[in-house]
Amino acid sequence: MKIVVLVKHVPDAAADRKFDEADYTTDRVSVDSILSELDEYAVEEALKISDAGDAEVIAVTMGPEQAQDAIKRALQMGADSGVHVLDEALHGSDALATSQVLAAAIEKVGEVDLVFTGMASTDGGMSVVPAMLAERLQLAHVGFVGELTLDGGTVRARRDADVTETVEAALPAIVSVTDQINEPRYPSFKGIMAAKKKPVQTWSLADLGIDAGSVGLSAAWSVVASVTARPPRTQGEVVTDEGDGGAKLAAYLADQKFI
């Protein structure tokens, strides 16, 4: 069984995230970055399957040079190999272009049974790439999965969307997981050492047969017209409870016409 896990390298949410001044793209260079936390759950779910049986786990990413750190982390956790799609032309790609590139990469990996992704990246947070991939690859997609069982060639999943649903899909399929599904492992010392010897391939757009003109900022199907930093919320009145905190709270709400 062959499993691809899509991982993304993102600006650390705890750091000061910002936009590139010149072209309004997310600043992915000068800000501390990490493997998107939400992707660790995807890596873990793939590893659980490979721990229990016979599966090859391949971590795939697309992004600038530093994005290899996301692959490295997946390899340290236990993935078998990595693929890094790296090309200057990719800068500023929108979700549509991203899904085009990742779909081509999954096809090039070949004979993939399962694709795991996180429920959203912690930066763009659109949650649309997995469904776009499914549409391009003509595969089933089950998103927001909080529990998964694999039974032969069928996945059975608990989907925690607006209501909770139980969904079945035949493989091959794309599954996006939430933080409810498992507890991601920390890389062990052995895992960190082993990762150094694991193969990582770097593919360019040409390797994937994609025209550089169809991706990147200039090919995006939407444009950002303006970006305004919101003044930080100014802190309002804070009172210390001296036996009348609740009454003061009620008075404030009445004042603001919430009562």
Ligand X SMILES: Cc1cc2nc3c(=O)[nH]c(=O)nc-3n(C[C@H](O)[C@H](O)[C@H](O)COP(=O)(O)OP(=O)(O)OC[C@H]3O[C@@H](n4cnc5c(N)ncnc54)[C@H](O)[C@@H]3O)c2cc1C
Closest CA to 9 of 74, 56, 54: 74
CB of 129 to another protein, least distance (A): 8
Scan residues 151-170 and list those touching another protein (CB under 8 A). 156, 159-170
CA–CA separation, 111 and 26 (whole Å): 33
Q: Of ligand X, another protein, none, which one sits near residue 129, judging by CB under 5 to 8 A according to partner kind?
A: another protein
Q: Does 145 bind another protein (CB under 8 A)?
A: no
Select 22 or 229, whichever has its Cβ closest to another protein.
Answer: 229
CB of 163 to another protein, least distance (A): 6
Contacts of ligand X in 30-59 (CB under 6 A): 37-38
Asked if 7 interacts with ligand X (CB under 6 A), we say no
69 binds ligand X (CB under 6 A): no
Helix, strand or coil, per DSSP, at residue 18: coil
Could you say whether residue 217 binds another protein (CB under 8 A)?
no
Q: By CB under 8 A, which span of 60-68, 81-89, 209-217, 245-253 interacts with another protein?
A: 245-253
186 binds, among another protein, ligand X, none (CB under 5 to 8 A by kind): none
CA-to-CA distance for 202 and 89, rounded, in angstroms? 15
Q: How far is CA 251 from CA 5, 175, 236, 247, 255, in A?
A: 53, 49, 15, 6, 6
- Contact set for ligand X, span 176-205 (CB under 6 A): 179
Q: Which one of another protein, ligand X, none is in contact with 212 (Cβ closer than 5 to 8 A by kind)?
A: none
Instruction: List b or e across 69-92, with b for residues whose CB sees 16 or more CB atoms inside 10 angstroms.
Output: bbbbbbbbbbbbbbbbbbbebbbb
Residue 39 has a CB neighbour count (10 Å cut-off) of 30
Query: Is there a contact between 55 and 1 (Cβ–Cβ < 8 Å)?
Result: yes
Site for ligand X, rule CB under 6 A = 37-38, 179
